[in-house]
Amino acid sequence: MSPLPTFSTMAPEAGLKKALSLSRPDIIEEVKNSGLKGRGGAGFPTGMKWNFAAAARAEEKFIICNADEGEPGTFKDRVILQEHADLVFEGMTIAGKAVGATQGILFLRGEYTYLRPHLEAVLAKRREQKFLGKQILGSDLEFDIRIFMGAGAYICGEETALIEALEGFRGEPRNRPPFPVNTGFLGRPSVVNNVETLASAACILQKGADWWKAMGTEKSSGFKIFSISGDCQKPGVYEFPMGITVAQLLKEVAGEGAKAVQVGGASGQCIPASQFERTIAFEDIPTGGSIIVFGQQRDMLDVLHNFLDFFVDESCGQCTPCRRGNVKLLEGVELLKEGQCSMAYLKELCALGETMQIASKCGLGQSSPSAFLSVVHNFRAEIMGRTPSHV
């Protein structure tokens, strides 16, 4: 059975045909009504994003599909692209009609180069079938898609760094505002959406906003695709409704008895067993889809060391809170491991983490202290366990 049951049941191009029969505002209204929120992590309402880009005045606009998928523990976009590329390209074409863009770009993670021949073949077939190009399905819609290869930097998943990379510059985040919907690729209005968001939008056009809203919670409608790894017997890619509890999810993947679950990848929160009844939803524990299960045997300092090592490597270095802050947090974890971190210094590190959350320029530095702060909060006795009381 496919790990993506709902995507598998979609009738080919039914969403695109529906979109061709609707006006641009009506397409956006349908997506807005569904309550679809971006699946790339930040959860920005998709209909609103499309509306901003539609309202921007420009000769040229772009739809950019973010397939950089660099968050540790995330591998669902790879499976969506492998199994349902048509649905993703259909979603991009619908977005193109909705905002008035004629060009789409798939920004593909460098490590997914092996997917490129398959994706190019799907695009070529879509051109033959008149799902791309001029006069799509006999309408006046013009839209085409090209693939741009990423080069392996995590920061290039951040939408403005991604745009810099597309323009041929070093992948470093831009100041926001202006936002890409107004000033994006080549200074033109650009919608940047996650792979899953675009595939979901195609489903919503086909099945309607009410169908989508009937799943999930009031504030987090629909279903979500999860990448689940770590200490469970059935790791893999799963579709669950939004609002599933951590405990229910662990049961599905045979991970009961876990000590903690990292929701949202390295930049997410570490949830202890006492909170497994909490829900995975934008209003409770948000996630772009990465779930990492930690069994009882895991040392939470090893977990933090691994994550912070990653952030020290991947920080682009533009702003001080992130460039220096991640190094200081990593050193703090090393002190904790050596039993040399006093409670007073731990408090200072937490204050540093909180400062990084508000003072960093982009989402990397704003979210990199989350795991540290949640582990300190939820596993204080364990992480201070090696430090004698006189330190």
Ligand X SMILES: Cc1cc2nc3c(=O)[nH]c(=O)nc-3n(C[C@H](O)[C@H](O)[C@H](O)COP(=O)(O)O)c2cc1C
Binding site for ligand SF4 (CB under 6 A): 155, 173, 315-319, 322-323, 360-362, 364-365
Report the residue number, 275 or 290, with the smaller CB distance to ligand X. 290
Task: Give min distance, CB of 345 to ligand X, in A.
Answer: 28
Residue 41's binding partner, choosing from ligand X, ligand SF4, none, with beta-carbon cut-off 5 to 8 A by kind? ligand X
Instruction: Write the interaction track for ligand X spanning residues 302-331; mark x where CB under 6 A is met and - where it is not.
Output: ------------------------------
Report the residue number, 286 or 332, with the smaller CB distance to ligand X. 286
Task: Give min distance, CB of 110 to ligand SF4, in A.
Answer: 18
Which amino acid is present at 2? S
- Kindly identify the residues of this chain, within the stretch 191-210, that bind ligand X according to CB under 6 A: 192-194, 197
Single out the segment in contact with ligand X by CB under 6 A; choices: 111-119, 138-146, 156-164, 332-340. Answer: 156-164
Other C-beta atoms lying within 10 Å of the C-beta of residue 251: 13
# of chain residues touching ligand X (CB under 6 A)? 23
The answer to whether 153 and 171 are in contact (CB under 8 A) is yes
What residues have CB less than 8 Å from 69, skipping those under 6 apart?
75, 76, 77, 78, 109, 112, 157, 195
Residue 275's binding partner, choosing from ligand X, ligand SF4, none, with beta-carbon cut-off 5 to 8 A by kind? none
Report the residue number, 316 or 341, with the smaller CB distance to ligand SF4. 316
Token digits for 175?
Answer: 């100041």
Instruction: Write the interaction track for ligand X spanning residues 24-43; mark x where CB under 6 A is met and - where it is not.
Output: --------------xxxxx-
- Could you tell me how many helices (H) and strands (E) the chain has, helices first? 16, 9
Single out the segment in contact with ligand X by CB under 6 A; choices: 66-74, 114-122, 139-147, 217-225. Answer: 66-74
Q: Cα Rg for the chain, rounded, in angstroms?
A: 21
Task: Give min distance, CB of 26 to ligand SF4, in A.
Answer: 38
Q: Is the dihedral of CA 341, 344, 348, 351 positive or negative?
A: positive
327: left (phi over 0), alpha (psi -120 to 50) or beta: alpha
Single out the segment in contact with ligand X by CB under 6 A; choices: 3-11, 246-254, 323-331, 357-365. Answer: 357-365
The answer to whether 240 and 249 are in contact (CB under 8 A) is yes
Report the residue number, 165 or 301, with the smaller CB distance to ligand X. 165
Report the residue number, 194 or 206, with the smaller CB distance to ligand X. 194
Residue 193's binding partner, choosing from ligand SF4, ligand X, none, with beta-carbon cut-off 5 to 8 A by kind? ligand X
By CB under 6 A, is residue 279 in contact with ligand X? Answer: no
Token digits for 79?
Answer: 């499976």
For residue 133, the SS3 value is strand
The answer to whether 238 and 291 are in contact (CB under 8 A) is no
Other C-beta atoms lying within 10 Å of the C-beta of residue 28: 23
Adjacent-strand bridge partners of 143: 133
Peptide bond into 3 cis (omega under 30): no
Report the residue number, 155 or 246, with the smaller CB distance to ligand X. 155
Token digits for 214?
Answer: 């009937």
Pairing of strands 269-272, 290-294: unpaired
Task: Give min distance, CB of 189 to ligand X, in A.
Answer: 15
Peptide bond into 25 cis (omega under 30): no
Identify the residue among 362, 371, 373, 384 touching ligand X (CB under 6 A): 362
Task: Give the binding site for ligand X (CB under 6 A).
Answer: 38-42, 44, 66, 68-71, 154-155, 157-159, 192-194, 197, 362-364
